[in-house]
Amino acid sequence: MTPVTVRVPAKVNLQLSVGPQRDDGYHDLVTVFHAVSLFDEVTVRPADRTSVRVTGQDAASVPAGRANLAARAASALAARLHRRSKSAVHIEIRKRIPMAAGLAGGSADAAATLVACNDLWGAGLSPAELREVAAGLGSDVPFALLGGTAVGQGRGERLTAALAAGTYHWVLAFAAGGLSTPEVYATCDRLRAARGGNGTEAILSTELMAALRSGDPAAVGPQLSNDLQPAAVSLRPGLRRALDAGREFGALGAIVSGSGPTCAFLAASAGHARELAVSLTGAGVCRGAVRVRGPAAGAAVVAAEPG
Ligand code: ATP
């Protein structure tokens, strides 16, 4: 069996609407996922026991071994296939997606591992079957398989591809340190309770969907929305400065990505994105900024190296 390498994108949420907290503690979501061209790469090869090695961005803090979502993905796929022997793999993750950044890097690595093991083991599961295994691993994992632009419902795992035209140029501004997703949700609930509410039912923005169909970034920018943004900003007040600076530098839209703390800025063109990235970095409002394009394709095999 020759090693298999899969490339997988980060995501931003163009809309993230969070409904009231349910009795089981979860929130119903309506979200518009958008995959962008910031990729992790995952290589799997047969081994005597399952292990994970992480290199690149935040490598020292990403959990190794069983706690890594990629290792859990390999086990979940082996269980789904009733594969008892020869299911151990060495998983090598080359990270470019920062950890706990609101870009779903862990989910991306899990999705990549599912695609890689499906190929390595010649299991032949269909994309729909892989998505079922992915949904059991986490609400963002199915989208990392699909890529593109898609509406997510439920906890985000029920996906429908969105009709979106054109290519969008973004700047991702990274913050120092991550934010814990459960803590951001808890803060969102607290802020809502302090205002005497519990949030309202999450509904898909028809304005955003129409703007995406038009392919015009100037129409999309004003429709970006994130219900978790006030919570992320209250936990990291510096994000307000970054968002304001991006708007001053002409971003068509400025938003916290997912649970943060990464901020995503929509640019008018590739050239504008370049200027925006330089200006944001120069203004000292972020740890670093990268230019990316969306939509990007979902997890896909890039190489099957000779053993
Ligand atoms: P989301 O937006 O999906 O909530 P995130 O982008 O904010 O996630 P991740 O980078 O996915 O955050 O990491 C969330 C947590 O998952 C981390 O704190 C880390 O301990 C754990 N984790 C497990 N496996 C991985 C992995 N392969 N890469 C990154 N984090 C991982």
Q: Please give the number of the atom of ligand 1 that sits closest to the Cα of 58.
A: 29
What separation in angstroms does the CA of 36 have from each of 55, 214, 259, 284? 21, 19, 17, 24
Asked if residues 143 and 132 have their Cβ atoms less than 8 Å apart, the reply is no
Q: Please give the number of the atom of ligand 1 that sits closest to the Cα of 70.
A: 27
The per-residue pLDDT for 199 is: 87
Pocket of ligand 1 (CB under 6 A): 62-63, 68-70, 93, 99-107, 109, 140, 181, 258-259
CA of 82 from ligand 1 middle (Å) equals 27
The per-residue pLDDT for 85 is: 83
- 95: annotated active-site residue: no
Asked if residues 6 and 117 have their Cβ atoms less than 8 Å apart, the reply is no
Q: Please give the number of the atom of ligand 1 that sits closest to the Cα of 138.
A: 3
The per-residue pLDDT for 307 is: 52
The per-residue pLDDT for 285 is: 95
Residues across the chain: 307
CA of 37 from ligand 1 middle (Å) equals 18
Residue whose CA lies nearest to ligand 1 atom number 23: 68
Asked if residues 35 and 299 have their Cβ atoms less than 8 Å apart, the reply is no
- 140: annotated active-site residue: yes
pTM (two decimals)? 0.96
Model pLDDT for residues 39-67, shown as the tens digit of each residue: 999 999 999 999 999 999 999 999 988 89
Model pLDDT for residues 196-232, shown as the tens digit of each residue: 888 899 999 999 999 999 999 999 999 999 999 999 9
* Residues of the chain with confidence (pLDDT) below 70: 303-307
The per-residue pLDDT for 25 is: 84
CA of 107 from ligand 1 middle (Å) equals 7
